[in-house]
A = this chain, B = another copy of it.
Amino acid sequence: MPARGDHDARRRDVSQAVWEVLAAKGFGGLTLRAVAAQLGASTGLLTHYFPSKKALMRHALEVAHEHGQRRERPVAEGEGLPGLRAALLHVMPLDPEIAAMNRVWVSFWDAALGDDELAAAELRRYERWRGMLRPHVEAAVRLGQLPADADPDDVVAGAAGFAHGLVVQALFDPARFPPRRQIKLVDDFVALLAR
């Protein structure tokens, strides 16, 4: 069925063009026109895939999510706090690929704050991410690496916040936040928790 294959290949090309626009311009710069230019196609062709800006945004959200999922999960050297450390480092812009991904997600905050559906998607994304950090914090409490009365939800929210706030600073100021310093700051934070 060559027609089917062509269709799938074209869809992949469209998704790749969406990703390239996202990586270069963020969600704020994502338009049918920009994707068409990236693809070397007409805006008319694009409306076949995306009848509205909203449809384009929805697809871009999937594309960005898939790019994140494709990365290998970090393997920590130990349970509890070492696992939390690895999960936090996993989101830091330590190389250009992750920096591009961070840039996309930071830009999504603006789009999401202005749209109820996208805001709900971002809320779920946060829940998912905090849900990934939580087992490490619970293990840390169980293993006595954190005080027995530590509230796992609060530790998780604080750790998630710490990492994202550092991501933003590093994106704007890579000279002052080279990978080595990002790693040190995450290590310092985990060490604070452990004291």
Contacts and interface: CB of A to CB of B under 8 A. Distances in A.
Interface of A: 25-29, 103, 106-107, 109-114, 119, 122-123, 126, 154, 157-158, 160-166, 168-169, 171-173, 177, 181, 184-185, 188-189, 192-193, 195
A10 to B, nearest CB: 28
Nearest to A193: B192
Contact of A126 (B26, B114, B160, B172): B172
A154 B188 contact: yes
Nearest to A119: B172
Given A119-B172, A126-B173, A158 B114 contact: no
Question: What DSSP secondary structure best describes chain A's contact surface?
Answer: helix
A26 B113 contact: yes
Contacts of A172: 112-113, 119, 122-123, 126
A145 to B, nearest CB: 14
A140 to B, nearest CB: 14
Contact of A114 (B28, B161, B195): B28
